[in-house]
Amino acid sequence: EAGVVQSPRYKIIEKKQPVAFWCNPISGHNTLYWYLQNLGQGPELLIRYENEEAVDDSQLPKDRFSAERLKGVDSTLKIQPAELGDSAVYLCASSLQGHGYEQYFGPGTRLTVT
Amino acid sequence: EDQVTQSPEALRLQEGESSSLNCSYTVSGLRGLFWYRQDPGKGPEFLFTLYSAGEEKEKERLKATLTKKESFLHITAPKPEDSATYLCAVQAPPGNQFYFGTGTSLTVIP
């Protein structure tokens, strides 16, 4: 069974430019997460979806970040405009819906903003 | 206030030297405690889920245990391929949120 797929794996952009990340979760996983991970830190939740609904976006910087999961399957995370401090790894994860289920992570997208 | 604290931050072991990693948590109403392994340049890889105090899970050289306030990941006779960062996460109400620790970086020297 295919795991969580993310693209691109790496992205280098200049500050103030837009960037988008794509994630396809494991088939049958209704819950999808976007995390940000800085070097030496644990993942920090940006947004969680249950099907198409964003049920927790309290940590998403809404002035520049946006996300969508239109058909309840794959998802896109966008940053516009990017800032130097946005350089990090962006991880997507998915799980079955409900509590107590483990998350499965994709390989991440390493973003460098110059 | 940190919900999850992992210690030590880094650990160097000789091959075959057993040790334990600690994950302490302060959340109430634990829905699950999860251990992950993360290799450089990769996403976290799921290892174990523990749900209640007293529970134990094993996989090869790894054994995870859970009490009401902390979890331990015991590594028995580690090998160099066990070198990685080990992350702990807890899921708790409200909203079944996940809280991750900062990880323990394990290096096993041949």
Boundaries of every domain in chain B: 4-8+15-104
Q: Report the mean per-residue pLDDT for chain A.
A: 94
Give the integer Cα–Cα distance in Å for B95 and B29: 11
Chain A hits for B97, CB-CB cut-off 8 Å, are 45, 56
pLDDT in tens, B27-60: 888 999 999 999 999 999 999 999 999 999 999 9
Instruction: Name the one residue in this structure whose structure tokens are 């992950």.
Output: B36
Residues in chain B within 8 Å Cβ distance of A99: 31-32, 91, 96
> Which tokens hold the place of A78?
């966008």
User: Scanning the structure block, which residue is given the tokens 């520049």?
Assistant: A64
Q: Are strands B70-75 and B56-59 parallel, antiparallel or unpaired?
A: unpaired
Q: Look at residue B108 and tell me whether its pLDDT is greater than 80.
A: yes
Which residues, listed in sequence order, are joined to residue A14 by a DSSP beta bridge? none
User: How many residue pairs bridge chain A and chain B with CB atoms within 8 Å of each other?
Assistant: 57
Summary mean pLDDT of chain B: 95
pLDDT for residue A71 = 86
Q: Summarize pLDDT for A76-107 with one digit per residue, the tens.
A: 999 999 999 999 999 999 999 887 889 999 99
Tell me what pLDDT residue A81 has.
Answer: 96
Q: What is the pLDDT of residue A97?
A: 86
CATH number belonging to domain B4-8+15-104 = 2.60.40.10
Structure tokens given for B40? 């450089």
CA distance B17 to chain A (A): 24
pLDDT for position B6: 97
pLDDT digits (tens, 9 = 90+) for A39-63: 999 999 999 999 999 999 989 999 9
Question: Which residues in A lie closer than 8 A to residue B31 (C-beta atoms)?
Answer: 99-100
Residue B38 burial class via C-beta count within 10 angstroms: exposed 0-12, middle 13-18, buried 19 and up? buried
**Is B96's CB within 8 Å of A99's CB?**
yes
Task: Tell if the CB–CB gap between B43 and A99 is shorter than 8 Å.
Answer: no
Name chain B contacts of A43, Cβ cutoff 8 Å.
44, 87, 100
| Cross-chain Cβ contact A99/B32 below 8 Å | yes
Say if residue A18's pLDDT is above 70: yes
Calculate what percentage of chain A has a pLDDT beyond 90.
Answer: 89
Q: Which domains does chain A have, with CATH numbers?
A: 5-113 (2.60.40.10)
CA of B89 vs chain A CAs: smallest distance (Å): 9
Per-residue pLDDT at B38? 98
Tell me whether residues B100 and A33 touch, CB distance under 8 A.
Answer: no
* Cβ-based contacts of B52 with chain A (< 8 Å): none
Question: What pLDDT was estimated at residue B93?
Answer: 85
pLDDT of residue A1: 65
